[in-house]
Amino acid sequence: MFRFTPYVVKSLWGHRARTALTVSGTAVALLVFCVVAAVQEGLDRLARPSEADRTLVVFQENQFCPTNSRLPEDYARLIAEVPGVRSVVPVQVFTNNCRASLDMVVFHGVPPGQLLAARNLELLSGSFSAFEDRTDAALVGQAVARRRGLEVGESFTVGEVTVSVAGVFASPVAAEENFIYTHLDFLQRAPGRNAVGTVTQLEVELAEHADPDATAAAIDARLRHGPVATATRTKGVFQREAIGDLAELIGFAQWLGYACLGLVFSLVATTTVMAVQDRIKEHAVLQTLGLRPMRVFRLVLAESLVQSMAAGLLGIGLGMLVLGWWGFSIGTEGVAIALEPSLRLAVLGAVVSAAVGLLAGLAPAYQAARTEIVAALRQA
């Protein structure tokens, strides 16, 4: 079965310039495919039913950008009285950019005493007591920390807000790692914010058997006569609606991913066709020596597969590295889609490159196997 492996490898190596060009071009295409798939995966993660569907977000009606939502802070007290509500966390959100952005910075101001209960954060450096002790302290998600090169003890300014980094955290929810947590009152008092007594949103944790939609409706009804009307949704729905147009854009970007696969196919197929046409006589000689047509077919297929798998290894590996290292995110309206490497992505990439490699090799392999031995040998 594998006795002819050296022949396959040496055939590719024999044309290493051509092979290298094909592999590198294919690797780039697979890298792009990988990034596009990561964006899609990040979006799917937002939409996936999870604890995000056991949390409600109370926002000002008809608003999505955090800058435009202002709710009285004492709504928290009113909401806590609604049946089905376990706890309420007031959150002040400040972002440098409400539009779609690749380097969105989002501050979440939360009462320090409530932060640990509301969020599942794992401190990688710094300490939580340091965060509690200083009003301008911030816990920074590791994706932001990496992107901006932030370390504990440094201070960091966005717009008119300056915070001092008290810790860097990781979270099982990848999007969280793009956020920066501060004290609620600090963010309310921050220069130019003028938000004392108001919050951007209220996060409601549901009681065990409470129905999310019914509770949301009850909250909106309870606040109907307050100074500001609210719209309450599950966190999942809220994020999806906030992402809105961006999701459509991402759906479109998927076609870019498919186009990359088309590119991989044509690159590998072109090279394999060339390799076969170069060696019509060689394949005839092999058959004269006693290789079955099916064996020649498999050898050509193997060449095609080895190239696409090598490119896959390179492209996907590079993609994982890039995604893991830079902690990219795409964000809009204060909601972040985290791009992160995952086993699923790696496996998808490997399977896709193998499948495309095999597909690209089929026609040339068939051509090589069908070689008319005598006619091919008669060629000069």
Partner 1 sequence: MPLVEIRNLTKQFSKGGETITPLNEVDLTIEPRDFLSLMGPSGSGKSTLLNLLTGIDRPTSGQILVHGTDITRLSRARLADWRAANIGYIFQTHNLIPVLTAYENIELPLLLLPMTAAERRKRIAIALEAVDLTDRADHYPRQLSGGQEQRVGIARAIVANPTIVVADEPTGDLDARTAGHILQLVERLNAELGMTLFVVTHDPQAASVAARRLQLDEGRLVESEAAAPVAALDAGRRRA
- The yes or no reply on residue 281 touching partner 1 (CB under 8 A) is yes
Cβ-based neighbours of 317, under 8 Å, separated by 6 or more:
none
- The yes or no reply on residue 288 touching partner 1 (CB under 8 A) is yes
Q: How many CB atoms lie within 10 A of CB 221?
A: 12
- The yes or no reply on residue 14 touching partner 1 (CB under 8 A) is yes
Q: Least distance (Å) from partner 1 to the CB of residue 285?
A: 5
For residues 146 and 281, which CB has a smaller minimum distance to partner 1 in the complex?
Answer: 281
Q: Which position among 154, 292, 344, 351 is part of the footprint of partner 1 (CB under 8 A)?
A: 292
- The yes or no reply on residue 221 touching partner 1 (CB under 8 A) is no
Q: What is the 3-state secondary structure (H, E, C) of 308-324?
A: HHHHHHHHHHHHHHHHH
- The yes or no reply on residue 111 touching partner 1 (CB under 8 A) is no
For residues 86 and 370, which CB has a smaller minimum distance to partner 1 in the complex?
Answer: 370
Q: Least distance (Å) from partner 1 to the CB of residue 42?
A: 45
- The yes or no reply on residue 294 touching partner 1 (CB under 8 A) is yes
Q: Least distance (Å) from partner 1 to the CB of residue 46?
A: 51
Rg (Cα) of the chain, in Å, rounded? 28
- The yes or no reply on residue 286 touching partner 1 (CB under 8 A) is yes
Q: 205, 118 in Cβ contact below 8 A?
A: yes
Report d(CA 328, CA 6) in Å as an integer.
Answer: 41
Q: How many residues bind partner 1 (CB under 8 A)?
A: 24
Q: 261, 356 in Cβ contact below 8 A?
A: yes
- The yes or no reply on residue 277 touching partner 1 (CB under 8 A) is no
Report d(CA 246, CA 244) in Å as an integer.
Answer: 5
Q: 341, 328 in Cβ contact below 8 A?
A: no
Q: Least distance (Å) from partner 1 to the CB of residue 143?
A: 47
Phi-psi region of 22 (alpha: psi -120 to 50; beta: other; left: phi over 0): alpha
Binding site for partner 1 (CB under 8 A): 3-4, 6-7, 10-11, 13-14, 281-282, 285-295, 373-374, 377
